[in-house]
Amino acid sequence: MTKHLKDYWLFIIFVIFTAVGFILDLNTAQGIFDNFYSFFLTMIKFVPAVFLLIGLFEVWVDKETIEKHLGEESGFLAYLWAIILASTTVGGLYVAFPVAAALYKKGASPRIIFSYIGTAAICRIPMTLFEASYVGVSFTAIRWAISIPLVIISSILMEKILAAKDLEKISENT
């Protein structure tokens, strides 16, 4: 039982602090609970559909196709595929991480996975349209022109830095 509690220590602390906040009638506790509840409802509505789509991806897309276009032997075009896939990802990193795990299981190169996650954080189409409408198209274009090469360079470096055994540990946990 104690090992099971160790897995949820952060959530238990959250519940305790929120309960104490409600007992002391703190406005902050109500705000924290409202934010948590809103986030929880969003995840309950969103995550099942994401996992259904990822399950279909794992069944319908051949491993050879992923290895050919996103694997170790793929060229620079793989980065373009990763950017296109990441820019169409809806839901941000909540969706990007499970998709990245599915791609990794199918044989995508770690550098492409890292590029996908990085570009999913910065290049989503809805976020880009919102940004361009508020700060301008030129700012958005400059941010993309700087961010995308940096993501690609850092993903290549991360793949080289991570040892093969570390990548094996990651794949065991997915």
**What pTM value is reported for the model?**
0.77
Q: Exposed, middle or buried: residue 86 (CB in 10 Å: 0-12, 13-18, 19+)? A: buried
| Closest by CA position to 106, among listed 47, 56, 49 | 56
Cα-atom radius of gyration of the chain, to the nearest Å? 20
Say which residue the tokens 């990822």 belong to: 54
Q: What is the rounded CA–CA span in Å between residue 159 and residue 167?
A: 9
Domain coordinates of the chain in residue numbers?
A: 1-46, 61-173
Q: What value, to the nearest 5°, has the Cα angle with vertex 91 and ends 138 and 152?
A: 55
* Confidence tier at 2 by pLDDT (50, 70, 90): low
What are the tokens at 153?
């360079």
pLDDT tens digits, 99-108 = 998 999 899 9
pLDDT tens digits, 56-100 = 988 898 899 899 999 888 889 999 999 999 998 877 787 888 899
Q: What is the rounded CA–CA span in Å between residue 68 and residue 125?
A: 26
